[in-house]
Amino acid sequence: MKLLPVEERLGVKYSSLENLLRSSDYIVLMTPLSKETEHMIDYKEFDLMKKSAIFINASRGQTINEEALIDALQNNKILAAGLDVYNVEPVNKDNPLLKMPNVVTVPHIGSATLKTESAMAMVAARNLIAAVLGEVPPDLVPELKCTPNILS
């Protein structure tokens, strides 16, 4: 696979999901929910992870099989989990994940403070105005600034 110049400069290395799960200490799932990603992380994937792995899901609850996660945590297949999303939201108060000492949970509000949300709105507005005026948005991801015609 030929790397893009920005990927070469940053030292990007591609790997299969299987290899990533086997070798990673932290697995952070950040993917949209689609037919292809529903239950993307299931029993098989938890079985591939290190026993010392910490799994974090901040994407969508249905991207993982929650029963498989509970099994992995209860049977020490992985060390811990951090969750901002759940299969059912609001999360049921009887969900076993809420009672596990090796799970940190937040109710789908991981970044939702008034200060953060206000700042995010201002950043979005500044970037939108710049783009509409044909300028490079001030908060464009640095790696994309070197990409020709990124705004066209």
126 is catalytic: no
Q: Are the C-beta atoms of 69 and 45 separated by less than 8 Å? A: no
Choose, from 7, 39, 108, 143, the residue flagged as catalytic: 108
The residue annotated as part of the active site, out of 8, 38, 67, 89, is 89
d(C-alpha 64, C-alpha 85), whole Å: 10
Active site residue 8: no
Which residue intervals of 2-113 are DSSP H helices? 5-10, 17-23, 43-48, 66-74
Q: Does residue 22 have an active-site annotation?
A: no
CA–CA dist 37, 64 (Å, integer): 8
* Active site (catalytic) residues: 60, 89, 108
